[in-house]
Structure 1
Amino acid sequence: MGLFNKLFNRKVNQPEDQYTVTITTEWVKVEHPKWGVETLIWTDLQKVFYINTDEGPWLPDLWLTLVGNNSSCRIPLGAKGFEEVYDIVSKYPEFDFENANKAISCTANAEFLLWTNQLQSRPNSIPMSTEIMEGQIWSYITRKGEEESRLTILKVEQLHNNTSVAHIRIDGLNLHQGQVQTNYSLASIEHLPISLTALTGSLVKLELTVEVSVNEGYFYWKSQFLEGKAGVWDISVLEAIDITDRAYT
């Protein structure tokens, strides 16, 4: 009976079991002992696909594919971490659930576009003549339930790649920390680097200007950025908050 159990109750390793997925607020990394490492910087994300192949069951046949301008990664269905990444990207505005369902039932080689970054085609919420300056406090397009949240411009600078970046603090959020939900009136993101293009597409109304200074989060980000380990958000403020929040849920 012991031999029977060993033969027939043995766990069968699946090809997707060899993939390791690591998720942080900055990036998602996929590792495989033979195929190496792929890393997608969240701020670089432009498109999300499902890619189907006819290679199953010997190889993974459904891949969640994240594509950026300078980075990308593929995660096979069934890999540990797949559901967490799907949960993040499926919350993006205009995510195509119909195509996601089509991909699940497809057995042929095919690609299904699930989401694309439409930021460049979004109209700015503020006049183009409005100058973004340090110390400004703005209302912005928020998540549901966070309508009282405000963002503060801590610093505006131009990086060596000629990207104009605003460093902002966001107060009045309803963030999650594990299973503990903080009081929204106290929760904040102390530092978030975002391109001016993405920022202006999120702003609604300039409410106040105060004296400010950058915090420790900025200096840590700058050191990581110079080492190529951190980036700049290029999606809406709402989407950046949502990704940051879900990474800690």
Structure 2
Amino acid sequence: MRHLGLACFGLVMAAGAMAATPTVDRYAEGQVWEYQTRPGDQGSLLKIQKIEVSPQFTKSGPVYHVSIIGIHFDGLPVNGTLQHAPFSRASLDASVTKLSASKAEFPDANGGIAEWRKAQGGVFTVTVAEAVSFAEQTMRKQMSTTPSGS
């Protein structure tokens, strides 16, 4: 099965190298959150892997690098995980419902974060559920344009 870590890091673009200074707010690295999921993704969780502040994102504030588990991609040969997806605070505010006590295992997001930085990636400013749908649509397009046997 393919990992889905590559789906989000370069899909939205904006310039800027990120500084590694977290901001003080209701979110913290390592937190696991329940969020308003798409139909069929009930029970999916997100984990804040890293929080970064950059002058390039002054309008959206810190970048919240998250991993998401428990996603259902019907008909796609992927494992239902987004290794890395960068979100704005407004996106998290519009999406998360409560902190979770879950001890579920999440993928390491460091590879996705490194690729995102290299690509000078941007951040999702839509809800988490909308970003998951976008990632699924992107994967479906990529799979329909990939020749069989590749």
- Fold match (TM-score > 0.5): yes
| Residue in structure 1 matched with residue 93 of structure 2 by the alignment | 200
SS in 2 for 1:239: helix
Preserved contact between residue 86 and residue 124 of structure 2 (Cα < 8 Å): yes
Show CA shifts across 1:93-138 (max 9, x none): xxxxxxxxxxxxxxxxxxxxxxxxxxxxxxxxxxxxx710000011
Pairing of 1:27-66 with structure 2 (within 5 A)? 27=11, 41=12
**What TM-score results when the alignment is normalised by the length of structure 1?**
0.43
**What TM-score results when the alignment is normalised by the length of structure 2?**
0.68
Shift of 1:175: 2.1
The separation in 1 between residues aligned to 2:54 and 2:134, in whole angstroms, is 24
Distance 1:150 1:222, change over 3 A: same
Shift of 1:208: 3.0
Preserved contact between residue 137 and residue 151 of structure 1 (Cα < 8 Å): yes
Shift of 1:181: 2.9
Residue 172 of structure 1 pairs with residue 70 of structure 2: yes
Residue 145 of structure 1 pairs with residue 40 of structure 2: yes
Shift of 1:246: 0.7
| Residue in structure 2 matched with residue 237 of structure 1 by the alignment | 128
Give the letter for the 1:238 counterpart: A
Give the letter for the 2:85 counterpart: L
The separation in 1 between residues aligned to 2:73 and 2:85, in whole angstroms, is 15
The separation in 2 between residues aligned to 1:214 and 1:156, in whole angstroms, is 12
The separation in 1 between residues aligned to 2:84 and 2:39, in whole angstroms, is 21
Show CA shifts across 1:122-161 (max 9, x none): xxxxxxxx71000001100000011110000001111122
The separation in 2 between residues aligned to 1:156 and 1:209, in whole angstroms, is 20
The separation in 2 between residues aligned to 1:192 and 1:181, in whole angstroms, is 19
| Residue in structure 1 matched with residue 82 of structure 2 by the alignment | 189
Preserved contact between residue 62 and residue 89 of structure 2 (Cα < 8 Å): yes
Unaligned runs of 5+ in 1: 1-23, 28-40, 45-129
Preserved contact between residue 150 and residue 171 of structure 1 (Cα < 8 Å): yes
The separation in 1 between residues aligned to 2:80 and 2:132, in whole angstroms, is 12
Preserved contact between residue 174 and residue 182 of structure 1 (Cα < 8 Å): no
State the number of aligned residues.
119
Normalized per residue, the structure richer in strand is 1
Identical positions, percent = 27
The higher radius of gyration belongs to 1
> Relative contact order, CA 8 A, sep 6+: which one is greater?
2
The separation in 2 between residues aligned to 1:159 and 1:208, in whole angstroms, is 30
The separation in 1 between residues aligned to 2:84 and 2:67, in whole angstroms, is 5
Q: What is the RMSD of the two structures over their aligned residues, measured on CA atoms?
A: 2.9
Shift of 1:209: 7.8
Shift of 1:214: 4.0
The separation in 2 between residues aligned to 1:219 and 1:158, in whole angstroms, is 15
